[in-house]
Amino acid sequence: MDVSAVVGERADAWMDLAAERGVEVRADVAQGLAARLPDGVLEQVIDNLVDNAVAAAGTVPPGIVPLVVVGAERADGRVRISVTDSGPGMGDDEKAHAFDRFWRSPTSEPGAGSGLGLAIVRRLVEAAAGEVRLEDRPDGPGLRAVVSLPRA
């Protein structure tokens, strides 16, 4: 799978919808990245992560730019895909449960989502011999989802 192309295409696909919600989506994708994945898996993983990130970035307080950056790079002999938002982020306890089925953040909008998106992401990524984690955004408020996959 051409990871660079898929990540770039999915970021482009989200730009208009995110803009309607007042959120900017940017892509920061290294070229020439490849991983072994079944058709459609990477698209579903990215779409779930970007959907969550756009929702979070859309809740930022005044003065913070509502932004989602979708990235892909080589790291430690693997392909690393990241989706970073400028939303409110999550506490350590929330991050520990975010991949649990049906778990929803106490701060999430009532009735928005089923709590399955990140659980599905984890299952798909692990089935492809990968790993996924959530971490604090390093340069301000927000959250970064990081998917690490074996290179093809």
CATH number at residue 146: 3.30.565.10
Please give the pLDDT value at position 15: 96
Q: Domain of residue 10: give its range.
A: 3-150
| Residue 63: C-alpha distances to residues 32, 67, 107 (Å) | 37, 12, 20
> Whole-model pTM?
0.91
pLDDT digits (tens, 9 = 90+) for 45-104: 999 999 999 998 888 878 888 999 999 999 989 999 999 999 988 999 888 888 888 656
Torsion of CA 39, 37, 125, 130, to 10 degrees: -170
- Min mean pLDDT across 27-31, 36-40, 144-148 is at 36-40
Residue 111 CB neighbours (<10 A):
6
C-alpha 107, offset from chain centre: 18
Q: Between these two residues, 98 and 114, which has the higher pLDDT value?
A: 98
Side-by-side strand order, sheet with 143-150: 24-29, 67-75, 78-85, 143-150, 131-136
Please give the pLDDT value at position 27: 96
Number of domains into which the chain is organized? 1
Residue 1 CB neighbours (<10 A):
20
